A and B are shown apart, each in its own frame.
Chain A
Amino acid sequence: MKFADYFLDRIFSVICFITAALLICGLLWLIEIPKIFIIFTITVLFMSFAISFLWDFQRRRGYYNQILNLLTQLDEKTLLSEIVMRPNFLDGQIISDILCQSNKYQNDKIAEIQQQNREYRDFLDTWVHEIKTPITSARLIAENEKNPVTLRIDDELRKIEHFVDLVLYYARSSDVEKDFKIEKTTVKELVSMALKNYSKAIIRAGGRIKMEQLDIPICADRKSCAFIIGQIISNAIKYRQDDFTLSFFTQIEKNGISLFIEDNGIGIDAADLPRVFTKGFTGNNGRQFSKSTGIGLYLCKRLCDKMNMEISISSSLGRGTTLTLYFPAESLLQEAGL
């Protein structure tokens, strides 16, 4: 609280005081009181007003500065009224009581929503595990009775599996407590895991796979990385052109390793490129291919952020798209506490 602001706020009482002082001054002068008494009276009046004015300013400033300080230090701003002291002036007390009540209401609401959110997530978690049992039995049934019909059903079951995975990783990406299991693996292993999941679709598309220099040991969460690569592969399959080729190659960077995933598909419009990692964004390609959800790359980005990895994209329309995954070197991962 600045003095000037406080002064302006109290300008009415200041004007009143000055008017009153001038009037008294005039009156005393009219009845011919000696000057010395007039000055004395004015000084007394002025002093008493100034002291009360400054005292009030001081206690208000002390109180409000304390609150503002607390507010900047506090992580959970809505808990402010719980820790701040009750002021010793009336209007402050009233505001503080109001703040207390409204904060309490807010906190209750937040707790309620958090509880709902947790229950919902728990349910989702259980559901994902439940749904896996029938998928497993259905896939086993197909495996036991392989013929063109059951194999087609098996293809559809794989799609269901991928959608279930999407739910699982979506929940995982927004879960603050979820930690990742970082273990030693190789880039090749991650790529192979992801490719195997989409093998049928790649075979159907008549795709060719090129892999170069992938025998590089890294530390990463295998399942999540395979999921990310899988999403990229699935996009490459979705937006392919004739003679579909998918290349994987790496490049050693200063503090890590970059994995390039390059396809020769339809590419992405330059105008759409900056927004492909945004949730729900489908862009020009999304409008032409109705199956786009705008969630796959968003999830990849979220997971990469969580795992201290980087993902970037470049593309030329009609020629293809390259996704780059950047894995920080082993030491960097340890520093980040992952």
Chain B
Amino acid sequence: MSSTILSHVLFAQISNWKRMGDGLYRGRGRVDLIDLLPLAIVIAVAAIAIAIVVKVRKRNDMTTQCDNPAKLFRELCLAHNLDRASQKLLGRLATALQLSQPAEVFLQPAYFRTDQIPAELRDEEAELQALQERLF
């Protein structure tokens, strides 16, 4: 099988050029599906890669019209150059406060007040205070 594959790849071999179509007629015109498997795998991997690239690009493309609260949250995080930890912390704050629009945390300084911080985030009060300073 490997010789068959190589015979397709090594174009420089003149003798192989002459015999390039020989294999296809092996077995009286019947194609062995197992021979196409590598090609199918390559195509599938490429498609997945393209889909991922498109998805990632679309996720970070803020110029398209949409109605996506999470994307707005990301857009604001990017605008403020927040690192992943800060983004995650703000996201957790929005979840803990049960906000339907996570981006609201960028407009409500009150959410960062000590008495407003949910119990599960008390340990990170200092980080939240720093974020408040940065955002407001």
Q: Is chain B found bound to chain A in the same assembly?
A: no
Residues of chain A touching chain B, judged by Cβ–Cβ distance below 8 Å, are none
